[in-house]
Structure 1
Amino acid sequence: MRKNRKYDGTFKEMVVKEYLSGQHGGYITVAKIYDVKNVSQLKKLVKKYHEDPTSLHRETRGRKKVCSKSDKTKEEFLQEQIDYLKMENTILKKWVELIKENN
C-alpha cells in the first residue's frame, strides 16, 4: 500500500501554472512530468486555483485547530463573557415574565 503524498503550496502552484501555460499539453502530460499520481488531483488543484489562487497554500486536511482561551486577547475573552451574560440575562427576564403570566 502506498502512502498519500503531501504537496506543498509552491509545488501545487507551479504545477497549476505549468498546466495553464499550455506548453506541455493536457492534464495527463503535466501529471506525468511532475509525478502527480492522479490526474483528478491536478484537475482539483486547477479548479481551486481558479476559485482562489491563495487556497493552494492553505492546509485543509485534518481537524481544525480549536481556539483556546490563551489564543484570544483579554478584550476578546471579556467581550465574549459580556455577550454571554447579556444573553443569559435576557433569557432569565423572559422566564420571569412567563412565570408571572401563569400565576
Structure 2
Amino acid sequence: MRKNKKYTGEFKEKVVKEYLSGQHGELNTVAKIYDVRNVSQLKKWIKKYRGDPTSLYRENRGRKKLSSKANKSREELLQEQVDYLTMENTILKKWVQLIKEKH
C-alpha cells in the first residue's frame, strides 16, 4: 500500500510553471520528470494556479478549525465572553419586560 506523497507549494509551482512553459510537452511527460504520481493531481494544481497562484501553498487537507481560539489573546477571548453575556442579559431583560406587560 502506497502512502500519500506530500508536495510543497514551491514544488507545485515549479512543476506547473514548467508545464505552462511548454518545454516538455504533455502533462504525462512533466509528471514523469518530476515524479508526480497522478496526472489528474497536476491538472488540479494548474487549475488552482490559474485561479490564484498562492492557493498552491495552502494546505486544504483535514478538518477545518471551527474557530481561531489559538490565535486570540486571553483579553480577546474574555471580551467575546463579556459581549455574549451582555447580549444574553439584554435579551432576558426584554423577555421579563414582555411577560410583565402581558400580566
TM-score when scaled to structure 1? 0.83
Q: Distance in 2 between matches of 1:93 and 1:15?
A: 62
**Aligned residue in 1 for 2:10:** 10
Q: Distance in 2 between matches of 1:10 and 1:30?
A: 16
Measure how far apart 1:63 and its partner are. 2.3
**Aligned residue in 1 for 2:55:** 55
Would you identify which runs of 4 or more consecutive aligned residues in structure 1 move more than 6 Å?
none
Measure how far apart 1:24 and its partner are. 1.0
TM-score when scaled to structure 2? 0.83
Q: Mapping of 1:34-45 within 5 angstroms?
A: 34-45=34-45
CA RMSD of aligned residues (A): 1.9
Letter aligned with residue 24 of structure 2: H
Q: Distance in 2 between matches of 1:26 and 1:90?
A: 65
Q: Distance in 1 between matches of 2:13 and 2:72?
A: 33
Q: Distance in 2 between matches of 1:61 and 1:30?
A: 24
Letter aligned with residue 17 of structure 2: K
**Aligned residue in 2 for 1:74:** 74
Q: Give the aligned length.
A: 102
**Aligned residue in 2 for 1:64:** 64
Q: Mapping of 1:88-99 within 5 angstroms?
A: 88-99=88-99
Local SS of the residue matching 2:36: coil
Local SS of the residue matching 2:7: coil
Measure how far apart 1:86 and its partner are. 2.6
- List alignment gaps of at least 5 residues for structure 1: none
Local SS of the residue matching 2:6: coil
Q: Distance in 2 between matches of 1:28 and 1:58?
A: 25
